[in-house]
């Protein structure tokens, strides 16, 4: 199973299935979660063996109409990713609060490192 499917599966119950890689379509009901891979650690061996694990640095955003709701869901995101055994998750920093002036949405941004079987 891909990292994207594992992340979506871990988070979809938090926002009634509204979890999207990269961006959500305009008009998506609130709240929703977006995520994207923003790097990661490459696995390299000295011999030409293909790695059996892969790593991704994930940026996860929660979007809502209120700061309180975004913060509550962001806490649940952290818990859900840590609890998903197919993702070995490390939290890489505290959440950052976001405000999108054009849409008036409140959000959070947080980075995670996840390891999965390749």
**Tokens 């995670």 map to which residue?**
112
Rounded-to-integer distance, Cα 90 and Cα 104, Å: 31
Q: 40-78 burial, b for 16+ CB within 10 Å, e for fewer?
A: eeeeeeeeeeeeeebbbbbbbbbbbeeeeebbbbbeebb
Whether omega for the bond prior to residue 31 falls within 30 degrees of 0, making it cis, is yes
Per-residue confidence in pLDDT tens, the chain, 118 aa: 899 999 999 999 999 999 999 999 999 999 999 999 999 998 888 888 888 889 999 999 999 999 999 999 999 999 999 999 999 999 999 999 999 999 999 999 999 999 999 6
User: Nearest CA to 5 among 24, 23, 25, 20?
Assistant: 20
> Can you give the pTM of this predicted structure?
0.93
């Amino acid at each position: 199973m891909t990292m994207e499917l594992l992340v979506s599966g871990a988070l979809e119950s938090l926002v009634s299935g509204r979890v999207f890689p990269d961006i959500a379509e305009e008009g998506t009901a609130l709240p929703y979660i977006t995520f994207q891979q923003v790097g990661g650690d490459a696995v390299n061996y000295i011999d030409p063996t293909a790695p059996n694990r892969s790593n991704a640095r994930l940026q996860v955003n929660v979007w809502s109409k209120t700061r309180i709701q975004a913060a509550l869901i962001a806490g649940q995101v952290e818990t859900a990713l840590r609890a998903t055994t197919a993702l070995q998750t490390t939290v890489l920093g505290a959440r950052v609060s976001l405000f999108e002036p054009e849409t008036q949405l409140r959000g959070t941004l947080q980075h995670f490192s996840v390891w999965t079987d390749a």
